[in-house]
Amino acid sequence: MCINAFNTSRFLCYQVYLYGGQVTSWKNNSGEQQLFLSKKASFKPPKAIRGGIQICFPQLGNHGVVEQHGFARNRLWSVDESPPLPDTTSDCHIDLILKQSEEDMKTWPHSYELRLQVALSPRGDLILTSRIKNKNADGKPFQFTFAYHTYFSVSDISEVRVEGLDTLDYHDNLQSKIRCTEQGDAVVFESEVDRIYLSAPPKIVTIDHEKKRTFVLRKKELPDVVPICPPEFDPA
């Protein structure tokens, strides 16, 4: 099942699937698609939807005990009937919730509630707000990682640059997570890239020169940024 949400513009809209709690489409006032979604995307278990904005929880990557990027992107979410007060004044928002299953407890034995609010501002900004609550009966804390794994729609990847990460330290996942320092004034993609930039600023800018399009990312309470370019990206 998917949910389509529109504001007063007939073009400005987004789409969310309950499978994965995943945003799969986001269009601006001109009807231009801002997110990539593969034509080969699967919308049912066991595969995650390839594209859009995947929710990675309780693990990013394969550095842990559960499946790649965690199980949240491979589970069926529910519409949240009792959401907390919205963090936005937008009337165009959807609230989803995910709770642990018996299957999850076998590999990650913790009780939790993961809430996600997806909202569209009057000017077309897409706003995602997540809340994770520990529901363990004994109150025992647990560790996790969380990420919005976002596939932006861009032209030739060689025409794209990410600004705002200069001088930051990062872990290079292609070199056994060695710690390095960014020397350039922007991150460009001339070959495969997979890095975790530490303590990134609250504003990051991605520029697509060919499409003459700029994505401005503003974040709170998610310290790191992970730009990724796979070795051979299949645009399908």
> What CATH number did the domain enclosing 91 receive?
2.70.98.10
Boundary (domain end) residue, out of 153, 181, 209: 153
Domain count, the chain: 2
Boundary (domain end) residue, out of 117, 136, 153: 153
CB-CB contact of 119 with 92 (8 Å): yes
**Nearest to residue 176, comparing CAs of 159, 196, 158?**
196
| Predicted structure pTM score | 0.93
User: Residues 13-22: pLDDT tens digits?
Assistant: 999 999 999 9
204 is in which domain, residue-wise? 155-235
User: Residues 34-87: pLDDT tens digits?
Assistant: 999 999 999 988 899 999 999 999 999 887 889 999 999 999 999 998 888 666
Same domain, 19 and 113: yes
User: Which runs of consecutive H residues, i.e. helices, occur in 136-235?
Assistant: none
**Nearest to residue 121, comparing CAs of 230, 29, 219?**
29
Same domain, 98 and 165: no
pLDDT confidence tier of residue 166, bands split at 50, 70 and 90: very high
Same domain, 19 and 37: yes
